[in-house]
């Protein structure tokens, strides 16, 4: 995959924390930031799936009433 350069400005404390965390993990700051972003994407996906599951649970009876018989081949 082609890489692109992204320049960001953070305060010195944030930069030092990023350097330290990357060093602790034995990876570059670039890789550390990339993993944070990818993890954030994954969290968004999990949040969406959980919200969809909560919605389905909340309206389960409505869906069953509307589509239950059809799903069971009775309509």
Q: Considering the entire predicted model, what is its pTM? A: 0.56
Is the model's pLDDT at 14 over the cut of 70?
yes
Block residue for tokens 């965390």? 21
- Spatial neighbors of 13 by CB under 8 A, at least 6 apart, are none
Dist CA 41 CA 35 (whole Å): 10
Q: Give the C-alpha separation, 30 to 40, whole Å.
A: 15
- The percent of residues above 70 in pLDDT, for the chain, comes to 89
Every domain of the chain and the residues it spans: 12-71
């Amino acid at each position: 995959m082609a890489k692109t350069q992204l320049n960001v400005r953070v305060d010195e404390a944030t930069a030092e924390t990023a350097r330290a965390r990357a060093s602790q993990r034995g990876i570059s700051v670039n890789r550390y930031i990339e993993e944070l972003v990818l993890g954030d994407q994954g969290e968004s996906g999990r949040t969406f799936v959980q919200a969809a599951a909560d919605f389905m649970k909340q309206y389960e009876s409505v869906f069953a009433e509307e589509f239950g018989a059809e799903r069971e081949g009775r309509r």
